Amino acid sequence: MNPTTWGASRTKYGVARRRAITLGCALAVLLGAIVAVPAPAMAAAQQRVTVEATVGTDRQVTVTLACAAAKTCSGKLALKLSTGGTATLAYSVKARGSQTLNWKISTAHYRAFTKRGTATLSIAGTATKPNTAKFTHRATVKPAQPQFALARTNYTIEANRSLPLQLTCAAAAGCAGTVQLKLGSSVLTQANARGKKGTHTVQLTLSTAQVAALKTTATKYTAVVTETKPDAVQHATTLQLKKAAPKPDPEPEPPVRGASKAYAERNWTPTAYDSCPAALHASFQTIGPDGKIYPTWHPAQVTNPATGELCTFGHEHGADPRSSQLFDWVAAFYAPDDLVAGEPVGLPFGYTSEELENYGHEHGGMAMRHEDNGGHKVFVANDVKMLDAHRSWLRLSDGSQLVCSFLIKQHQGSWSPDATSNNAHESLYAARCNDGTEIITSILTRFGNANEMFGTCAPDTAIPTVGSVLPAGDGGRRIIPTTDCVRANPTDWTLYELWESDSKITAPDGTVLAAFDPWFGIRNPSRMYDASASTATTNGISRPLDLAWYAENPAADYLWAGLNHVERFDYTDPRSPFTGAQRDFYLGELQLAPTPDPTGIVYSDPYGGAAKTKRTVGAIQQLIRPGSVLGTVQLSRQKFDAKADYGSNNGVHAPN
């Protein structure tokens, strides 16, 4: 409270403490020996003046006039302070009553008064009732002194936001008032203070924002104490406040990480040709979005820390995903919410199949799908200049070229009969463009229909196969070399295996939210579909390697060159050129539509359907954000890694 705005009246507590100076106004009381008193003196004797001995910061000079007469006493008092200031106060007091009169001196006069430290108050009274009379009174007054004092000025604010101010009251009759905490001219908080003589604690509470503004080093604040008892005094004290240094978070209990089926049941085990131990392979792991441990990418050969020597795994997973500009972004997307510092992040191999099992248990009627470890392959393309369907460069509104980067993980096994009938294979597809396009998806991509494939010699004619219980596709196909085709013409194009996808993320009403269709080629697969070896319940395959040793017309060109002069060996031997490691890929369409959630996050079933904004059991999080250029634009197909060989001089062999 500003000291210039104090009220006019003084409290009864202030009056009780102050030294009262009383003067009988009648001449009869001066010596106590005069028997006959004149009438004016008698009138004055019935009106007695008392002056409070102190003046507080409210600048109030307080005078009390008591009426001893049987009738009302009235009149005027002329007040004069020796350090400056005069006032005339009228009074009217009921019979045998009293009245307190306040004179608020000016700021300048109060300043002069406090500078001198004492002053004489002269009072000239003029009574008009019950009789006319004059009387005088003189008293000494002094500035009131604070009785509350801060016992401490340094405080640390804890998490409870409390400031326990310690105040000491020096007055025998006790102290009362208010305490304000100020920063500059702003009042942050305040509380009442009251107590007997001694030390008391006044609890001030800061707001959350005020505590947040505090520093861990001391900052100056002001405590303003406005006393009302015993005197009206306001005084300020500088405080040093700081907030408690944050306590280090306790080390969290590490989450219990269970193993996914891909890690526990479908992980790699070494063959006679492989020199790395299974435990070393198991060390290449990542934590998936569900908090489970998954296998992830690793080099085909590494240094065994147990021996310090190079060892081989016999299989490869394609391009190093860390070479992609998108790796950190994608790895963070697939990290669990409770990831602990130091836990590995990366591409979780088998995550979609894991969720398919959860989804199937919840919804029923869905076939499970778990694929081998070696078939997970990574494809990277950075800063791809995008072409429209007419082979023209796509550009942004400022004329600059539209550029996208891609990170893809596709399961593509090329050594077993699996793909001859099974059409669903785990895919992770991520792209980011400089027009704002962003997409990260993980689904089971259906390359055409189950129990159906196409051959390299007749790529438009479906070949029926058997054994798959997976759902039908909605586009795409698997072109797989056939024994009769390659046997008749053993060349690179008859052996070339090509998987054409037609992937979509769709809403429950069928609206297409994302459409993309990369193709994946294998130039040296280790198996061919063999109709002559197939039965009503099985799909037969043969090995391209064996064509080198046919008695009639053995294959001798291309990958078979020189093999017919070597003693026959098994297709799993690292000497075989048919490893499935020579792979290329094609980028085609990328069309995105706005999702119901502005974040672009939806949750689809493992096949990319029924995408909603709320997660359900087995649903997979997908990110879809259209850019300013890509949307419904038709794109040209572009080929990458035409000469890539991920199995060169690193121990890779079939099955891979």
On the question of pLDDT at 487 being above 70, the answer is yes
Alpha-helical segments (H) within 390-458: 418-421
349-355-358-359 Cα dihedral, nearest 10 degrees:
-150
Evaluate whether 181 touches 155 at the Cβ level (below 8 Å). no
Higher pLDDT, 342 or 4: 342
List the strands of the sheet with 497-500, edge to edge. Answer: 462-464, 452-455, 477-480, 497-500, 519-522, 583-587, 638-640
Structure confidence at residue 463 as a pLDDT band (50, 70, 90):
very high
Q: Which of 12-26, 267-281, 330-344 has the lowest mean pLDDT?
A: 12-26
**Mean pLDDT, the chain, integer:** 91
Of 262, 370, 358, give the one whose Cα is nearest residue 603: 358
Tokens for 74, please give them. Answer: 């009235």
On the question of pLDDT at 4 being above 60, the answer is no
Q: How many CB atoms lie within 10 A of CB 530?
A: 18
Q: Using CA atoms, how far apart are residues 102 and 111, in angstroms rounded to an integer?
A: 18
Of 196, 208, 206, 212, give the one whose Cα is nearest residue 239: 206
On the question of pLDDT at 573 being above 50, the answer is yes
- DSSP character at residue 246: P
Evaluate whether 510 touches 521 at the Cβ level (below 8 Å). no
**Across residues 225-236, what is the average pLDDT?**
92
Evaluate whether 225 touches 194 at the Cβ level (below 8 Å). no
Output the CA–CA distances (angstroms, integers) from residue 516 to 195, 302, 348, 429, 502, in the order listed. 78, 35, 21, 9, 6
Higher pLDDT, 433 or 25: 433
**Across residues 205-231, what is the average pLDDT?**
92
Percentage of the chain with pLDDT > 70?
A: 93
**Across residues 163-177, what is the average pLDDT?**
93
> CB neighbours of 399 closer than 8 A, spacing ≥ 6?
none
Evaluate whether 379 touches 405 at the Cβ level (below 8 Å). no
Structure confidence at residue 28 as a pLDDT band (50, 70, 90):
very low
Of 370, 342, 341, give the one whose Cα is nearest residue 355: 370
| pLDDT at residue 40, rounded to an integer | 55
Structure confidence at residue 631 as a pLDDT band (50, 70, 90):
confident
Q: Using CA atoms, how far apart are residues 187 and 165, in angstroms rounded to an integer?
A: 16
| pLDDT at residue 561, rounded to an integer | 95
Evaluate whether 14 touches 229 at the Cβ level (below 8 Å). yes
Evaluate whether 152 touches 125 at the Cβ level (below 8 Å). no
| pLDDT at residue 12, rounded to an integer | 36
Of 275, 280, 266, 415, give the one whose Cα is nearest residue 348: 266
On the question of pLDDT at 138 being above 60, the answer is yes
Structure confidence at residue 554 as a pLDDT band (50, 70, 90):
very high
On the question of pLDDT at 137 being above 60, the answer is yes
| pLDDT at residue 252, rounded to an integer | 73
The torsion angles phi and psi of 266, rounded to 5 degrees, stand at -115, 15
**Across residues 475-503, what is the average pLDDT?**
97
Structure confidence at residue 632 as a pLDDT band (50, 70, 90):
confident
The partner residues of 126 in beta bridges, in order of sequence, read 76, 134
| pLDDT at residue 364, rounded to an integer | 77
Q: Using CA atoms, how far apart are residues 514 and 439, in angstroms rounded to an integer?
A: 8
- The predicted-structure confidence for 420-439, as pLDDT tens digits, reads as follows 999 999 999 999 999 999 99
Q: How many CB atoms lie within 10 A of CB 109?
A: 18
Of 196, 195, 177, 190, give the one whose Cα is nearest residue 234: 177
Q: Using CA atoms, how far apart are residues 551 and 65, in angstroms rounded to an integer?
A: 139
SS3 of 184-222:
CCEEEEEEEEEECCEEEEEEEECCHHHHHHCCCCCEEEE
Evaluate whether 113 touches 83 at the Cβ level (below 8 Å). yes
Q: Using CA atoms, how far apart are residues 134 and 614, in angstroms rounded to an integer?
A: 93
Task: Please return the burial class of 365, using the count of CB atoms within 10 Å of its CB with bins 0-12, 13-18 and 19+.
Answer: exposed
> CB neighbours of 46 closer than 8 A, spacing ≥ 6?
26, 67, 68, 69, 73, 130
Q: Where in 473-610 does DSSP place strands (E)?
A: 477-480, 497-500, 503-506, 512-516, 519-522, 528-529, 541-542, 583-587, 590-592, 601-604
- The predicted-structure confidence for 76-121, as pLDDT tens digits, reads as follows 999 999 999 999 999 999 999 999 999 999 999 999 999 999 999 9
On the question of pLDDT at 198 being above 60, the answer is yes
Evaluate whether 83 touches 109 at the Cβ level (below 8 Å). yes
Q: How many CB atoms lie within 10 A of CB 495?
A: 24
Query: Three-class SS of residue 512?
Result: strand
**Across residues 628-639, what is the average pLDDT?**
92
Predicted structure pTM score: 0.65
On the question of pLDDT at 7 being above 60, the answer is no
Q: How many residues does the chain have?
A: 656
Q: Using CA atoms, how far apart are residues 139 and 21, in angstroms rounded to an integer?
A: 6
